[in-house]
Structures are given as C-alpha cells and as structure tokens.
Amino acid sequence: MKKKVFSLLLAGMLTFSMGTTAYATEDAIADMQAQKQEAEAGLAQAQANISSLESKKQELENYLSDLNTQYEDLTNEISDLSVQAGEKENELNQLHTELKKAKKALNKQYDDMKLRIQYMYENGGTSALETLLSSKDLSEFLNNAESVAKISQYDRSMLEKCENLQNTIKEQEATAEEEKASIDELLAERASKQQEVQDLAASTSDNISSYVSQISASQEEAAELTAEINNADNSIAQLVQQAEEEKAAREAAQAKAEAEAEAQAAQEQESTDSSESESYDETDSYEESSDTDSSDDTYSEDTSYDEEADSEDSYSEDSDTSYDESEDTSDYEDTADSSASDDSQSSSDSSSSGQGKYLGNFTLTAYCNCAQCCGTAGNLTASGTVPTAGRTVAMAGVPFGTQLLINGNVYTVEDLGTPYGHVDIYCNSHSEALSFGLQSAEVYQLN
C-alpha cells in the first residue's frame, strides 16, 4: 500500500513539474505574442507615418513642378520683354536721329526764308516793286506778281511742313519713351517675380529633402519592426512546438506513472488475496475439530460457521476482485492505451471546440496581386494556382492545401510570404487589402 501511495505521489509530482514547465512555456508564448503585438502596432504606426510623409512629399513635388513651370514661363516672358525693350530702344534712337534731321531742316528753311526777307528789306523793298513796274505788259506783270507770291507761299509752306514734322517726331518720341518705360517696369516686375519663384523652389526642394530623410528613417524603423515580428513569429512557432512536445511527454509520463501505480496496486492486491486464502484454510480445520461439542458449543460453532461463511463470501468477493484486477493486470497495455486515448481525446476536445484542430490566435493581414504587394503583377501562387479572393491565403509552416477556419470562413493555404502564425488573406484589389488593415483571430485547421 505504501508503494502504491508513493507511486501516486511520484506521478503527481511529475505531473505538477511538467505542468509548471507547461505554464512557463505558455507564459513565454504570451509574452512573445505581446511583444509581437507591440511591434505590429509600432509597424502600423510607422507605415501610417510613411504614408503621410509620402503624401506630403508628393504634394511638395507637385508644387515644385508648378513653380518650375512658372519660372520657365517668367524666363520666357522676361526674354520677350528684353527683346521688346531693345526694339524700343532702337526705335527711340531712330526717332532721336529723325528729330535732329527735322530740326536741322526746319532751321535751314527758316534761315533761307530769313535770307530772302533780309535781302528784300536790305534793298529797300524796291526790287520786287521795280520788277513789277518794269513789266512791259500786263501779262508779264501778272507773271512777276505770281512768282513773288509763289516764293512767299513756298517759304510759308515749307516752314509749316518742317514744324509739323518736328511735332510729329516729338509725339512719336514721347510715345516710344512711355512704351519703353512700361516695358522696363514690366521687365523689373517679372524679374522680381522670377527671383521669388526661384526662392520658393529652393525652399520646397529643401522641404522635400527633409521628407525624404524622414521617410528613409521611418522605412528603416519599419524594416526593424518587421524583422522583430518575423523573429517573434519564429520564436512563437518554436515555443508552440515545444509546448506540444512537452504536452505529449507529460501525457505519456502521466500514463506511464498511472500504469505503474495500477500494476503496483494489482501486485499488492494479489498478495492480500493470498494471505486471506491461507486464513480461510485454517478456519476450515477449526470447524472440523469442533463438530463433537455440546449444543451450546454447536450454537457457537454455527455462529462461527456463519462467520466463516461470511468470511468465505468475503473470500469469494475478494477472489472475484482479485480475478478482475488480474484481468486488468493482464490487459495493462490496453488500459494504458485507453487512458492515453481518453486523455488525448479530452485534450483534443478542449482544443478543437468542434471546429477542427486549434492552432492559436494568429495575426491577419491582406494582400492582392499587384506589383506593390507582390513585386510584379499577375503572378500565380507559390503552389501554382490562380489566387482567388475568399479562398487563397499565404502562410509558411503548413503544407499547401491545408484548410483553415478563420472567423467562420474556410480558406486554403496556396501561397507563401508570411511565417507560421501570420495569415495573409488574398483580396481582389489593393484598396480592399489596405482597408483590411492589421487584425487577429482564432485559427483552426480542418484537415
């Protein structure tokens, strides 16, 4: 009996020690999953930062492109205005030259007229009169008078013409100067605008460079977090495998300890039955020697007989018990197998919950068949099938064709790209994959 108790205590201690190890493994898995979730949250934040920075960088690049276009337009406009300013400068120089010629012609005409008038007055004015009076006839008189009038009219006409030409040139010169001043002002304005656009372009380029640096830093952070998540996935997979091995070893050791306890109990029961059988034989001898006693003694003997009968019944019951236990001992392997089977069935029932084999709480993401997700667009899966939304998922660590039950939907592992414990679900479009985000769910294996 002491050996049986000792065996049971030993089995209990072994189970407790293995249970403690199992709890330690489960705690390590929980800690690793917590670290993984923290890294995944950091990765999601880093990816959101990258997306925001990329959006701002794209806006600045578009703005810089507009500034460059404005700068080119202003450069072309300044070039045209410079040509116009040069043309106006040449026009003004030409007008200055023409004005000088007109002034010179006017002065010459005025000098000629003064000479004629001076000549007429210096000769007392008799020259023209004498010419008229010395005419032989009326016809000659009229001709001479007409000549004098024509000379006077010519001088007056030429003087007016020179004055009009001079005034016209002055008006053209004033107009040209105004136009040139306007061109110069517009040219200065465009040059100032060009400098402003150039400064804005330089500032925008600096901001773009800053965003590029921030994006690079965020991408490095995301890469580190991705590596950390992959390491956590590998560690979790190893710990899960270790837990399963420990569970199997614990169940086997428990079954073995129980079997040994049962065998020890059977041996002790056989020893007890043998002792009771010897006591029964001695009682029979006593009854035979007591048959010649008195009635009172007979009554005692009958009473003893009854007691012995009870003992015989007890012996029969013990024999039956011994026989049953003997059968149990002979069928020890079947009993151990049955116990192990019951334990395995109980464990399976607790882990499957009627939904297949429970794998654990896995990370869920989504992808599509675009170049951004897969490098190149339109690829087949790693198993050679055409990816289909609602069916295809990617995960390493299980064979292709493995069916997974996730959130009430049945998926088939047809692709690779994520470690064990991370399920990547195929979607029809990149927008659907982005909206899916980062999730987690209980995963069961159906086949």
- Read out DSSP for 189-220? HHHHHHHHHHHHHHHHHHHHHHHHHHHHHHHH
Q: Which residues contact 414 (CB under 8 A, 6 or more apart)?
A: 381, 382, 383, 385, 387, 391, 392, 393, 394, 400, 401
Are residues 385 and 366 in contact, defined by beta-carbon separation less than 8 angstroms?
no
Q: What is the C-alpha to C-alpha distance for residues 235 and 275, in angstroms, rounded to an integer?
A: 59
Are residues 395 and 423 in contact, defined by beta-carbon separation less than 8 angstroms?
yes
Q: What is the C-alpha to C-alpha distance for residues 286 and 284, in angstroms, rounded to an integer?
A: 5
**Does the predicted TM-score (pTM) go above 0.85?**
no
Q: What residue type is 128 in one-letter code?
A: A
Are residues 132 and 58 in contact, defined by beta-carbon separation less than 8 angstroms?
no
Q: What is the C-alpha to C-alpha distance for residues 439 and 346, in angstroms, rounded to an integer?
A: 30
Q: What residue type is 90 in one-letter code?
A: N
Q: What is the C-alpha to C-alpha distance for residues 21 and 15, in angstroms, rounded to an integer?
A: 10
Q: What residue type is 37 in one-letter code?
A: Q
Structural domains in the chain, sorted by start: 354-445 (2.40.40.10)
pLDDT in tens, the chain (447 residues): 444 444 555 555 555 555 556 667 778 888 888 888 989 999 999 999 999 999 998 999 999 999 999 999 999 988 888 888 888 888 888 888 888 887 787 778 777 777 766 665 555 444 555 655 666 677 776 776 677 677 777 777 877 877 888 788 888 888 888 888 888 888 898 899 989 999 999 999 999 999 999 999 999 999 999 998 999 899 888 888 888 888 888 888 888 888 888 888 888 777 776 665 555 444 444 344 444 343 344 333 343 333 333 333 333 334 343 333 333 433 434 433 434 344 444 444 434 446 789 999 999 999 999 988 887 888 899 999 999 999 999 999 999 999 999 999 999 999 998 999 999 999 999 999 999 999 999 999 998
H helix or E strand, kind and range, residue 431: helix 430-436
Q: Which residues contact 265 (CB under 8 A, 6 or more apart)?
A: 4, 325
